Amino acid sequence: MKLIFTKDANNEINVQLQKGTVVEDFSYTEMVSQLLTSNVFDDTDFTNLSEEEQAKIQTMLDKISAVFQDEEEDNEA
């Protein structure tokens, strides 16, 4: 799953989700569904975001991924 983060002229960060070649508006339920299938954020794209903003978002994505990794390990036990 690829996430696309874009900052607009009003400094608001918008998120889109890419599945295959299709780019859709972001949906938490779709993100969770994708993470349950494959716990990977591929090639996250940051447009017009500062290094600090990118680092914070990447940290958040790592934490989300870790939750799903812990869940997989609990289900395997």
Instruction: Give the pLDDT score at 12.
Output: 96
Domain that holds residue 28: 2-76
Q: Is the pLDDT of residue 77 over 70?
A: no
Question: Average pLDDT of 38-56?
Answer: 94
Number of structural domains, the chain? Answer: 1
Q: How do residues 61-74 score in pLDDT, each as one tens digit?
A: 999 999 988 766 77
- The 3-state secondary structure of the chain reads CEEEEEECCCCCEEEEEEECCEEEECCHHHHHHHHHHCCCCCCCEEECCCHHHHHHHHHHHHHHHHHHHHHHHHHHC
The model's pLDDT over 4-31, given as tens digits with 9 standing for 90+, comes to: 999 999 999 999 999 889 999 999 999 9
Tell me the average pLDDT of the chain.
Answer: 91
Instruction: Judge contact between 54 and 3, C-beta under 8 A.
Output: no
Could you tell me the pTM of the whole model? 0.83
